[in-house]
Structure 1
Amino acid sequence: MLVSGIQIIVPFFDRVAYRFDMREIPMDVPEQVCITKDNTRLSVDGVLYYQITDAQNAAYGTSNVITAVVQLVQTTMRAEVGKLALDECLSQRDTLNRGVVDVLTQAATSWGVKVLRYEIRNLTPPDEIQRAMELQLTAERQKRAAIAKSEGDRQQAINQSEGQKQSQINNAEGERQSAILRADGQGQAIATVAAATAKAISDIGKAVAGEGGADALHYQLGQQWVQQWGLIAKNSTVTVVPANMGDLSAMVGSLLSQAGNAKQGAKS
């Protein structure tokens, strides 16, 4: 085995038997069929990254180090896939990769090989499994879409009911305020009318209490009584005659007398 430094090779007697690249090397691992834990056939291939660290062990530890590594990768992968079900194999590639690297790291050391990493390239189930998975995926998507739509409809109904509730509350509050304002306005109007009526009654009382006030009041009431009888006679198709015409004559005489008394009271 040649080492670093100056080496002397005798022609025709010494020759280079093996040559190895000491750099990191990627190597394609051929596709193979593995059986999963649930008895599903699964086609697997990948890429192995390795490095030869001991040329002597690589040359004399096995007859063909590359073939040995490839065979070990494939058998290890079949064993790792057999530990998992199909769904687990498809979702746990990192677990399979780590399992292959752990086994190769221990076994390939005696061959002068250091396994750096392994990456699964393809995991391909049979066609019928793929079609079933596609149907399942489509059904799952439709289910999620239906759930999302129902949630949206539910939220929309809640929002609409909340809006209607708030609208009714606002309308009720507006009607309440309007009723309060109307009541306040009516109360103020009633108070104003009552005050005006009280003042008018007070003024009338003061006028009646004065000199000639009673005669003036009697005259006013009698005059209105005569006017009302005139309106009745004018607007009705039936002629209304008082039961006692003497009362009417007395009323007219009283009015004339009271009018005279009111004028005399005014002059005096």
Structure 2
Amino acid sequence: MIELFGAFTLIVLGYVIGSVRIIDQGDEALVQRLGQYKRTLKPGLNFVIPLLDTVLIETIREQISDIKPQKALTNDNVPIEVDAVVFWQILDLRKAYYAVEDLEEALRQLVTTNLRAEIGQLSLEEAISSTSRVNQALLRQLDRATANWGVKVIRVEVQEIILSQALRDSLEQERTARSEKQATLSRTQATVQSIAQLAEALQSHPNSQEVLRYLVARDYVNASLEISKSGNAKIVFMDPKFMNEAITDLINPNEFDQGADSSSENGST
């Protein structure tokens, strides 16, 4: 009799222990009875029917899915790779479990498809400079697509846009050429401005021709000295007469015309 009572006590104790399910905070659990959904267990102490009920525990915390670099083509036909990450959370565990076969894989495929489509609408420059725009567009699309899955896509972030080495070299050369062109343009503008200021100052100077001859001769000598330092330098000589005429024309471009008019008048008289 005592042995029978002890066996019965063990059976009851085992049944009670088997019926207890403790769900941690941040988790929820589905209860299936004979393969059919029965109810959802919330965090805390819960009881189920042993042998009949199956308990499936899942987190409802925010989760992160890292999307491997995906090949995409911009609208100017530049192949790139895009690396992204998705932050999401289960809001309705029943829908998340029964509405889609593999929730996390489905999310990855959805992100990949929409990411390629979004990049395909942008040029390379837009894709690189407007990642926040891509993030917002993806978030809107994913939020709509996952509404029936019981999932909330919290945010999407494009972490990196990967370019091929050949493309990076080409872009670097283009940036260098653009910088050199801008520097050359700036120097040219500065030179033109300096010449204009010098010409304006010399026109009001009583000895303008002598001053300009001195400045040009000084620069000419300095330039010749720099050229002579080179091992393969070639020295080019300028006729001083031509230099003087050029200087005179720079100082007073109307002087020649006035002289010509004066000669004409003398000849006519």
TM-score by shorter chain over 0.5 = yes
Q: Distance in 1 between matches of 2:200 and 2:54?
A: 92
Aligned position for 2:47:
8
Q: What TM-score, normalized by structure 1, do the two folds share?
A: 0.56
The C-alpha deviation readout for 1:87-126, integer Å capped at 9, x for no partner, is 3322322232222111100011111111122111121233
Residues 1:160 and 1:27: Cα distance change in structure 2 (over 3 Å): farther
Structure with a larger share of its residues in helix: 1
For structure 2, list consecutive stretches of 5 or more residues without a partner in the other structure: 1-39, 207-269
After the TM superposition, list the runs of 4 or more consecutive aligned residues in structure 1 that deviate by more than 6 angstroms: none
Rg bigger for which structure?
A: 1
Contact 1:18/1:59 (<8 A) preserved:
no
For 1:137-156, what aligned pairs fall within 5 Å after superposition? 137-156=175-194
Q: Counterparts of 1:87 and 1:128 in 2: how far apart (Å)? A: 16
The amino acid that maps onto 1:68 is A
Partner of 1:72: 110
CA distance in 2 between counterparts of 1:88 and 1:97 reads: 13
The Cα offsets for residues 231-267 of structure 1, whole Å up to 9 and x where unpaired, read as xxxxxxxxxxxxxxxxxxxxxxxxxxxxxxxxxxxxx
Map 1:98-247 onto structure 2 (within 5 A).
98-161=136-199, 164=202, 168=205
User: TM-score normalised to the size of structure 2?
Assistant: 0.56
Structure 1, residues 40-83: CA drift from partner, whole Å, max 9, x if none? 21111111122222222112121211111111000111111122
Q: Which residue of 1 aligns with 2:75?
A: 37
Question: Between the two proteins, what is the percent identity of the paired residues?
Answer: 30
- Deviation string, structure 1 residues 168-199 (Cα, Å, up to 9, x no partner): 49xxxxxxxxxxxxxxxxxxxxxxxxxxxxxx
- RMSD, aligned CA: 2.4
In structure 2, give the amino acid aligned to 1:19. Answer: E
List runs of 5+ in structure 1 lacking aligned partners.
170-268
Equivalent residue, structure 1, for 2:93: 55
Partner of 1:69, secondary structure, is: helix
Please tell me whether the aligned partners of residues 32 and 45 of structure 1 are also in contact (alpha carbons under 8 angstroms): yes
One-letter amino acid of the counterpart of residue 138, structure 1: T
